Structure 1
Amino acid sequence: MAQATTDVPRTYGPEDLEHFRRELTGYCYRLLGSAADAEDAVQATMLRAWKALGRFDGRSSLRTWLYRIASNVCFDEMAGARRRALPVDVSAGPSEPVASSLGRPLEDAVWLTPVADARVLPDGDPADVAVARESVRLAFVAVLQHLPPRQRAVLVLREVLRWSADEVADLLGSTTASVNSALQRARATLAERGPRPGGALDALSAEHALLLQRYVAAFEAYDMEALAQLLHADVVQSMPPYALWLRGSDDVVAWHVGPGAACRGSRLVPVRANGSPALVQYKPSGEPGVLRFWALHVLRADGDRVAEITNFLDPRLPALFGLPDTVPARGPLPTAG
């Protein structure tokens, strides 16, 4: 006669926690608006989870348990923190395309920062990947920052990750009615403050692929006439961590041939950031034959024109994309890791 068996609780290890790192980073990034803060929040989540793993009783799934820890880490981070934004959402109006408009760089905590797709987007079902891609667009993450922390979490969990209201209520220690109410308020705020017209470049769009190709060619040749033809009449350019932002193709070109003229001779490396193609710019360093990282270009399109250029000048960005700080002025360029 066979001996009866009993279920033995599963023992989890570090590899089980690591399985969720990418999706947790995406969740924390949407809540915090900073790639560095998201990485730190996930690391704190993993540390807390590892220390408490022996007390995990399995009454919820490991995934739910980790999201509960990550949510609390993010809520602690957001307590008393100011809303992250882009320069166009902070400054009263556009700047003049002159060097004196640049001013001093503002602290990192002011700005929304970009994120590499490889750090936050899932593999798998194309429909899920498409939703995830849309939900890390700069414009969408910027609007999310207007929501109170718990509304932000509810919206991401319900609308992006497709959790049920009951699951979100359990995770947040709330009620289903409270979750549904928070979701309705969050949706109303998004409807009121919705992203500006146009959208991020679509990697699957032949029109956008050609636009990106022409942008790279014009910028590397520093052909301002060709660049101007690619820009929307009301194009916006900004350069975090500076509050300066420019409006109009004439002012953008004036900046490039004036205060920004040192970018002549730059090279651009394609990467993927915030759900769309982007470009890492290396410009002349003063050392012969060597270009040094200068900016990450994240573009927003309106039809077949560039409607917004956000140049992130954070020197930590090459590492985020697996790229070096310098590249040769001639010869092969590295590819993003």
Structure 2
Amino acid sequence: MQASRMRALLEAARAGDADSFGRLVDPFRAELHAHCYRMFGSVHDADDVLQETLIRAWRGLAGFEDGGSVRPWLYKIATNRCLTLIERRGRRELPTDFGPGAAPPTESVWLEPYPDDRLGRPDADPEARYLSLEAVELAFVAALQHLPPRQRAVLVLREVLGFPAAETAGLLEITVAAVNSALQRARRTVGERGPGHSQREVLSAVGEEGVGDLAARYASAWELDDVDGIVALLTEDARYSMPPLPEWYEGRADIRAFLLAKPLTMRWRFRTARANGQIAFGTYRWDEDISAFVPGGLDLLVLRGTRIAEVVSFLTAEFGPFGLPERILD
């Protein structure tokens, strides 16, 4: 936004023009929401904090120093609000954060999937959009949750959003030395817990056509009740989890036994979706009482080469935000 245009909107907003305030902050809504999601691992918490951020910004316009973009100022409000609330709400996790057979704490809360459509217009700069998708990949967001809140904020502000060290220090009201120290520790933790490769790298190696073919074969195998076809698409060490259920399965043999014992005793339909910059499916199980397929879960696939390394089936995900129907007729 041109500086003159921003100043005009800011002046009008300070005078009480809500429409001008909306035009001032609208370009940053999507990225602020994604930022809050990275901090919390929850779309619903991100919704709440984004709303609070904009309310606080509207009420605090008089305190904004007119000398540059409102973007850093909005990030300061949003990040500090996140830091305040994270302490109260605790860490979100995935079942695979706990070892096989290990029972998670009863108070565990789980990560939520993120609709790609929340990241902004599909006609935005392709490189910028790829980077924004990469920065909400499920494994990365899950790794962020294992950082202390301030380290989490520093890593996201510096590595994802590209704020310089001095500006990050100003946003968090800490020293540059503290920023650099927190970043070093955060990088080490995320490096240990995060993915060894991004799904963007997989796409580059396999190609859109290869990924599309893999997705089509996976969905078809489920709809045909073909357990061998499903298992053949998995890596040897594949993992399968279903939050909010705590149990999860690892390896082709265990996953095969689970599928035969439970899911594949039902009929299924799959519909393609996108979540966290990754392939996903809305899965629908047959409900005899209403003679229709109803939501069974949102399955997010993590790829490694030409195989599926992990399936996270979010059993309680809302389908609407992913553009999926609430039921499918046979």
CA deviation digits over 1:167-198, x for unaligned, max 9?
21121112222212211111121223232678
Establish whether residue 87 from structure 1 lines up as the match of residue 90 from structure 2: no
Give 2:326's aligned residue: 325
Counterparts of residues 270-309 of structure 1 (less than 5 Å): 270-309=272-311
Provide the C-alpha distance between the structure 2 equivalents of 1:273 and 1:67, rounded to a whole number of angstroms: 24
Q: What residue is the counterpart of 1:129 in the other structure?
A: 129
Describe the SS at the equivalent of 2:298.
Answer: strand
Counterpart in 1 of 2:70?
Answer: 62
Q: Distance in 2 between matches of 1:258 and 1:84?
A: 29
1:7-38 CA distances to partner (integer Å, 9 max, x unpaired)? 87633322322331110011011111111111
Residue in 2 that maps onto 1:180: 180
Give, in whole Å, the separation in 1 of the partners of 2:22 and 2:198: 42
CA separation of 1:114/1:159 partners in 2, compared to 1, >3 Å: closer, same or farther?
same
Relative contact order, higher structure (CA 8 A, sep 6+): 1
State the secondary structure of the residue aligned to 1:47.
helix
**Where does residue 98 of structure 1 map in the other structure?**
none
Q: Choose from 251, 254, 259 the match for 2:257.
A: 254
> Displacement, 1:105?
11
Q: CA RMSD of the aligned region, Å?
A: 2.5
Q: Could you tell me how far apart the structure 1 residues matched to 2:104 and 2:171 are?
A: 42
Q: Residue type matched to 1:93 in 2?
A: P
Is it true that 1:20 corresponds to 2:17 in the alignment?
no
2:219 is the counterpart of 1:216: yes
CA distance in 2, matches of 1:176, 1:74: 21
Q: Does 1:238 align with 2:241?
A: yes
1:110 corresponds to 2:119 = no
With over 3 angstroms needed to count, the CA separation of the structure-2 counterparts of 1:314 and 1:106, relative to structure 1, is farther
Judge which range, 41-50 or 273-282, deviates more: 41-50
- Measured in 2, the distance between the counterparts of 1:59 and 1:199 equals 39
Match of 1:41 in 2: 49
TM-score (structure 2 length as normaliser)? 0.86
Instruction: Confirm whether residue 162 of structure 1 aligns to residue 162 of structure 2.
Output: yes
| Counterpart for residue 31 of structure 1 | 39
* More divergent stretch after superposition (192-201 vs 224-233): 192-201
Quote the offset at 1:287 in angstroms: 2.8
In structure 2, distance between residues paired with 1:36 and 1:208: 30
Secondary structure in structure 2 of the residue aligned to 1:114: coil
Indicate the percent of aligned positions where both proteins have the same amino acid. 40
Contact map agreement 2:95 2:243 (CA 8 A) in 1: yes
Q: Provide the rounded CA distance (Å) in 2 between the counterparts of 1:114 and 1:15.
A: 29
Q: Which whole-Å deviations, capped at 9, do the CAs of 1:65-104 have from their partners, x for residues lacking one?
A: 11111011111111143321111112x3159xxxxxxx99
Give 1:52's aligned residue.
60
Q: Matched residues in 1 for 2:198 and 2:100: separation?
A: 20
Query: What's the CA shift string for 1:180-236, capped at 9, x where partnerless?
Result: 221111112122323267847639433222111110110111111211211222211
Q: CA deviation at 1:137?
A: 0.8
Distance 2:284 2:23 in 1: 37
Deviations 1:217-272 (A, max 9, x none): 1011111121121122221100000111011222222222212234x321111111
Q: Provide closer, same or farther for how the CA distance between residues 76 and 147 of structure 1 changes in structure 2, counting only shifts above 3 A.
A: same
Contact 1:297 1:312 in 2 (8 A): yes
Separation in 1, partners of 2:208, 2:106: 36
The Cα of 1:288 is off from its aligned counterpart by 4.3
Relative to structure 1, is the Cα distance of residues 252 and 122 closer, same or farther in structure 2, using a 3 angstrom cutoff?
same
Structure 2 Cα separation of the partners of residues 258 and 197 of structure 1:
33
CA apart distance, 1:157? 1.1
- Give the equivalent residue in structure 2 for 1:192: 192
Whole-angstrom distance in 1 between the partners of 2:159 and 2:285: 40
Distance 1:227 1:116, change over 3 A: same
Q: Deviations over 1:277-305 (max 9, x none)?
A: 21111111223431111111111122211
Query: Mind listing any 5+ residue stretches in structure 2 that lack a counterpart?
Result: 1-6, 14-20
Question: SS of the residue aligned with 1:152?
Answer: helix
Consecutive unaligned residues of structure 1, counting only runs of 5 or more, are: 1-6, 96-102, 330-337
Match of 1:120 in 2: 119
